[in-house]
Amino acid sequence: MSDFNENSTQFPSSQFPPPQLPVQSDLPSQNHDESGRSPRRRFGVVLVAAVFGLFGGIIGTYIAQDANLVDLQGNDSSSQITSAPVVVSSGENELTDSAIAKVAARLANSVVTISTTVSDDFGGGRGVGTGVVLTSDGQILTNAHVVEDASEVVVRFAGETEPRVAKILASDLGNDLALLKIDATGLVAATFAKPGSVQIGDAVIAIGYALALDGGPTVTSGIVSALKRTIETDSGALNSLIQTDAAISSGNSGGPLVNLKGEVVGINTAVARGDSTSAANNIGFSISVDEVLIVIEQLRKQANGVVRDDGFLGVGLAAREDGGQGAIITDVQAGSPADKAGILIDDVVLAVDGEPIDGQAGLVAAIRDAEPGQTVKIEILRDGKRLTFEATLIARSE
């Protein structure tokens, strides 16, 4: 508490004439002063002056005190100490919970943190990611890169202190998804959105254990910035991605991107980073629910012993450098599905089964996701004309 000094007010003192000293004179003594007034009259004048002086002093004191009060009220000269209480809300008429808060509460028991012990050529270490509960009996979905090379995997729910051991049932590095299993019952499974329901501009929320921060998951919000993005990864390419500006950080991998209904629309997987020639801000990617639901079934089959082969078209590719869309065919293997379909060198692939191909990585991902024996429609640009060919894929040989 700071010191508070009251300023004493100084009032002007009354001015009285100095006392008159007696003067000796040879003249006869008279009872008059130098002004010719009698001592009695002078006493009356002095008395009146004293009364007015006293009255003036009282008025001056009141005015000075009043001026001092005005000065304090104006806070012009000193600090004040007040006993007024701090205003605290009574809690009545509070705003209802926001949509984001409701979604976060709904997903609280369906999102887990995943910790791994990694053993690799670099000596190993620890890794952290996020997972989504798929079933009440313990199936959990996450990114494949979260559990890659893991010798031990544990998961922990928000509010719990002890981790639960998890088993990797199946993993698909190409699609960057993995299926885990813990020994549990009665879990709250997340709800996935209907395929094809996501639109550009939709409000979305990312939930995950960003940077492995203490406490519960991190919740960030944004919108769907774009659809059907394709990016290259260390394991190949990912296509049909959702782009979002909701903040996604290390540790968010494998966590859900959800709409305002609390439905999972994607699995967060990567962020764009700037380099010496480009800058990137608020650009994150999620594997869309359309892809996720397909891969989940493939992972479950794989967990039951069914080996999945990637589709194979039999072409070489190059990126367009003229600013156009698509991938350029640079080679066609003799006898391959592409050769049998009539695809030629220098053809430009624009779409596969109606999905636009933005570059060579997009075509690789589209063919990989198709199964051997599946017939796909490939839209080609040749000599300025759009043509459509059908190719029946075969299994990729090792």
pLDDT of residue 135: 97
At 218, the amino acid letter reads T
Cα gap 88→201, rounded to integer Å? 38
pLDDT of residue 247: 92
Domain boundary among 257, 288, 319: 288
| Shared domain check, 354 and 315 | yes
Asked whether 278 and 185 are in contact (CB, 8 A), the reply is no
Asked whether 146 and 269 are in contact (CB, 8 A), the reply is no
Asked whether 47 and 34 are in contact (CB, 8 A), the reply is no
| Shared domain check, 329 and 255 | no
279 or 341, greater pLDDT: 341
Cα gap 307→395, rounded to integer Å? 12
Domain boundary among 230, 253, 288: 288
Provide the CATH number for the domain around residue 230.
2.40.10.10
Q: Is 176 a catalytic residue?
A: yes
Two tokens, residue 393: 């894929």
Two tokens, residue 121: 């050529």
In the chain, the number of structural domains is 3
Q: CB-based contacts of 175: which residues, under 8 Å, 6+ apart?
A: 144, 238, 287, 291, 295, 369
Is the pLDDT confidence value at 8 over 70? Answer: no
When pLDDT is cut at 50, 70 and 90, the band that residue 1 belongs to is very low
pLDDT of residue 180: 98
Asked whether 318 and 296 are in contact (CB, 8 A), the reply is no
* H/E element, 315: strand 315-319
Mean pLDDT of 266-270: 96
| Shared domain check, 366 and 323 | yes
Cα gap 164→114, rounded to integer Å? 10
Query: In whole angstroms, how far apart are CA 296 and each of 139, 142, 186, 315?
Result: 11, 10, 21, 28
Q: Is 253 a catalytic residue?
A: yes
Is the pLDDT confidence value at 19 over 60? Answer: no
Bridge-based pairing state of the strands 385-392 and 125-133 = unpaired
- Could you tell me if residue 339 is inside a domain? yes
DSSP 210: G
pLDDT of residue 122: 72
Q: HSE on the CB side for 359, CA within 13 Å?
A: 15
Instruction: From the candidates 110, 115, 172, 176, give the one annotated as an active-site residue.
Output: 176
pLDDT of residue 46: 45
At 296, the amino acid letter reads I
| Shared domain check, 317 and 391 | yes
Provide the CATH number for the domain around residue 353.
2.30.42.10
pLDDT of residue 343: 96
- Paired strand residues for 170: 179
Is the pLDDT confidence value at 336 over 80? Answer: yes
Two tokens, residue 64: 């000075």
- Could you tell me if residue 347 is inside a domain? yes
Cα gap 351→152, rounded to integer Å? 41
Cα gap 233→251, rounded to integer Å? 17
Instruction: From the candidates 240, 253, 286, 288, give the one annotated as an active-site residue.
Output: 253
| Shared domain check, 378 and 315 | yes
- Could you tell me if residue 15 is inside a domain? yes
Mean pLDDT of 213-222: 88
Cα gap 2→6, rounded to integer Å? 13
Mean pLDDT of 227-246: 88
Mean pLDDT of 104-113: 94
pLDDT digit string (tens) for 109-139? 999 999 999 877 777 788 999 999 999 999 9
DSSP 332: E
pLDDT digit string (tens) for 51-71? 445 445 544 444 444 444 444
- Could you tell me if residue 154 is inside a domain? no
Is the pLDDT confidence value at 170 over 90? Answer: yes
39 or 114, greater pLDDT: 114
- Could you tell me if residue 376 is inside a domain? yes
Q: Is 32 a catalytic residue?
A: no
- Could you tell me if residue 182 is inside a domain? no
- Could you tell me if residue 42 is inside a domain? yes
Mean pLDDT (the chain, rounded): 82
Range of the domain at 225: 203-209+216-288
- DSSP 3-state assignment of 38? coil
- DSSP 3-state assignment of 312? strand
- Could you tell me if residue 175 is inside a domain? no
Cα gap 382→83, rounded to integer Å? 84
pLDDT of residue 22: 46
Percent of the chain, pLDDT > 70? 77
Asked whether 271 and 258 are in contact (CB, 8 A), the reply is no
Is the pLDDT confidence value at 393 over 60? Answer: yes
pLDDT of residue 358: 84
When pLDDT is cut at 50, 70 and 90, the band that residue 385 belongs to is very high
Is the pLDDT confidence value at 233 over 70? Answer: yes
pTM of the model: 0.73
Two tokens, residue 366: 């589209």
| Shared domain check, 222 and 283 | yes
